[in-house]
Amino acid sequence: MLALFQTIDLALNLYMYILIASAIFSWLYAFNVINSSNQFVNSVGTFLYNVTEPVLRPIRRVLPDLGGIDISPIIVLLLIFFIRSLMWNTLYPLFR
């Protein structure tokens, strides 16, 4: 059972890093810090968008318009933190 909890924890941890990378990439792209016509940059941006958008889109629909500020990644990060805490502090001791 420990292996299952560790695998879920690793997947959630990796997704946290992908969310952070996607947010940073979107800022760099919005302020023209990175070259959007570069094929590698475009493929990285497409990957990050395709991986994070299915999770962020439903949250963006519920959130009110904040004038161009997108806090949906922060909400997803808080949800992941909550799931990880719940998993290790509540569920794992039950299966020990």
Task: Summarize the confidence of residues 15-29 as an average pLDDT.
Answer: 96
Rounded to an integer, what distance in angstroms lies between the CA atom of residue 49 and that of residue 93?
36
Predicted model pTM: 0.90
Q: How far is CA 80 from CA 25, 49, 83, 88, in A?
A: 20, 18, 5, 12
Specify the pLDDT at position 41: 95
Query: pLDDT at residue 65 above 90?
Result: no
Specify the pLDDT at position 4: 95
Q: Within the chain, how many helices (H) and strands (E) appear?
A: 4, 0
